[in-house]
């Protein structure tokens, strides 16, 4: 995989460099609530601009349906990128139309432009190779070189991620190089004990990574909504908690395999429950109650790990040499149900382990709960991409950069 430094050595001054970034940030209206992904890719963009490149930044945001939708405009992200770079960033109001062509044509050496949300064009995400390729052809007309640095999208076979690198000389940006280097530490010559913390809502989203990690991890800690399918599989009442009953056979299979392989599987021993899901906007009182994990009342839903579980998980992480964490332990957006997630984050901060926060909601939680990002070994920008890498899957965006 060619690096951006090799590209710079060959010279980029005066050349149009297309940077596939990941500016898919959460928005409240037009206000960015977490700019972590923009901050992560800004150094690559700054490096190219400093070398005299004419930088064209492209990304998706959200899930528009292949047509322009103002709710998913990249304009706020472009403005924030300009603030981080300390320079004006031009913005094109389309992807490959008149505005994009004019904006790119107006670029001078060392300047940066952002084009509108790639998913406003149906060709970006099309499963039809020809349609996707046609859009990639249009994108290729805008640039001379390609830099892939949108790690959060490399598991997608999309036009700007997979097809476009085949049409231009290409290299991996610094962010992707860092992400891949970190993930190799989790899959090759891992320093042990190796602990994995998995949370989030659906157990079905994590079965692949559990299957793969049962061959590699020393202990796996489960939390979040997915924990209740595990508890149900053990015969416990879970009330109205999130439950994927159809996944119970798979869960039982993995619990048995873990036992056979000597992998320690750790489940909550107590949980925080309520009779209703909390209001995340007002964050008003929600009447939480802590109960034993095997004694959830029939009319209650589990929303977070309890204090005994928090202490148990902290102890299980204290002696680890390597930790991978993906997925919150509860509804961390509400203060009544944030302690489980906070406890895991704090355990990683307190531990000497090489700790990797696997993107997505867990990365957002670290920032929302006020932790210093530098206290962790690495905070990934791609939750889904990280999981698929750990599952051993081939990621289209990485494969496209390797030839």
Q: Annotation-wise, does 333 bind a ligand?
A: yes
Class of domain 4-175: alpha beta
- Residue 360, annotated as binding a ligand: yes
Q: E strand or H helix at 197, and its extent?
A: strand 194-198
Q: Note the pTM of the prediction, 2 decimals.
A: 0.90
Q: How would you write the pLDDT of the chain (403 residues) with one tens digit per residue?
A: 999 999 999 999 999 999 999 999 999 999 999 999 999 999 999 999 999 999 999 999 999 999 999 999 999 999 999 999 999 999 999 999 999 999 999 999 999 999 999 999 999 999 999 999 999 999 999 999 999 999 999 999 999 999 999 999 999 999 999 999 999 999 888 999 999 999 998 899 899 899 999 999 999 999 999 999 999 999 999 999 999 999 999 999 999 999 999 999 999 999 999 999 999 988 888 999 999 999 999 999 999 999 999 999 999 999 999 999 999 999 999 999 999 999 999 999 999 999 999 878 899 899 999 999 999 999 999 888 999 999 889 999 999 999 7
pLDDT for 189 equals 82
Residue 2 is predicted with a pLDDT of 94
Distance CA 1, CA 297 (A): 54
**Beta-carbon neighbour count of residue 53 at 10 Å?**
28
Question: Is-same-fold flag (4-175; 182-391)?
Answer: yes
pLDDT in the model for residue 231: 97
184 annotated as ligand-binding: no
CA–CA separation, 124 vs 132, rounded Å?
Answer: 6
Please say whether the beta carbons of 104 and 142 come within 8 A. yes
* 342 marked as binding residue: no
For residue 239, give the DSSP letter: T
CA distance 115 to 96: 8
The number of angstroms, rounded, from the C-alpha of 168 to the middle of its chain's C-alpha atoms is 27
Helix 36-50 crosses helix 174-185 at what angle (to 10 degrees)? Answer: 130
**Is 24 labeled as ligand-binding?**
yes
Catalytic residue numbers? 37, 202, 360, 384
Q: Which residue in the block uniquely carries the two structure tokens 């898919």? A: 24
Contacts of 20 (CB under 8 A, 6+ apart): 58, 59, 146, 147, 148, 149, 150, 153, 160, 161, 164, 397
- The pLDDT value given to residue 361: 86
302 is in an annotated binding site: yes
Q: Where are the domains of the chain?
A: 4-175, 182-391
The response to whether 303 counts as a known ligand-binding position is no
Cα separation values, 54 from 57, 78, 90, 181, 182, Å: 10, 16, 11, 28, 30
What pLDDT is attached to residue 383? 85
Contact 77, 114 (CB under 8 A): yes
CATH of domain 182-391: 3.40.50.1260
């Amino acid at each position: 995989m060619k690096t951006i430094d090799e590209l710079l050595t060959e010279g980029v001054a005066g050349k149009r460099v297309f940077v596939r970034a990941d500016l898919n940030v959460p928005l409240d209206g037009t206000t960015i609530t977490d700019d972590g992904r923009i901050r992560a890719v800004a150094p690559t963009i700054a490096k190219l601009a400093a070398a005299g490149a004419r930088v064209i930044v492209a990304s998706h945001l959200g899930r528009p349906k292949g047509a322009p939708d103002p709710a998913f405009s990249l304009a706020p992200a472009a403005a924030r990128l300009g603030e981080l770079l300390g320079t004006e960033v031009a913005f094109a109001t389309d992807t490959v139309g008149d505005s994009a062509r004019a904006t790119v044509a107006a670029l001078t050496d060392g300047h940066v432009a952002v084009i509108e949300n790639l998913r406003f064009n149906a060709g970006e995400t099309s499963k039809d190779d020809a349609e996707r390729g046609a859009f990639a052809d249009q994108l290729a007309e805008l640039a001379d070189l390609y830099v892939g640095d949108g790690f959060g999208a490399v598991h997608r076979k999309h036009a700007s991620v997979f097809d476009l690198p085949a049409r231009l000389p290409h290299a991996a940006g610094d962010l992707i190089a860092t992400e891949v280097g970190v993930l190799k530490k989790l899959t090759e010559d891992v320093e042990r004990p190796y602990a994995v913390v998995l949370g989030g809502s659906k157990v079905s989203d994590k079965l692949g990574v559990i299957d793969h990690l049962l061959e590699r991890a020393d202990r796996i800690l489960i939390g979040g909504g997915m924990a209740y399918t595990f508890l149900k599989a053990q015969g416990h009442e879970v009330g109205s908690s999130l439950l994927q009953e159809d996944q119970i056979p798979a869960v039982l299979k993995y619990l048995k395999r873990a036992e056979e392989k000597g992998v320690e599987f750790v489940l909550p021993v107590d949980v925080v429950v309520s009779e209703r899901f909390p209001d995340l906007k007002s964050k008003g009182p929600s009447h939480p109650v802590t109960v034993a994990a095997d004694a959830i009342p029939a009319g209650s839903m589990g929303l977070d790990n309890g204090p005994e579980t928090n202490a148990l998980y902290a102890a299980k992480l204290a002696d680890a040499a390597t930790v991978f964490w993906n997925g919150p332990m509860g509804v961390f957006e509400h203060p009544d149900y944030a302690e489980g997630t906070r406890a895991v984050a704090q355990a990683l901060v307190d531990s000497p382990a090489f700790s990797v926060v696997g993107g997505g909601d867990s990365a957002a939680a670290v920032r929302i709960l006020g932790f210093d990002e530098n206290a962790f070994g690495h905070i990934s920008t791609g939750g889904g991409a990280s999981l698929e890498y750990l599952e051993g899957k081939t990621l289209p965006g990485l494969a496209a950069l390797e030839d």
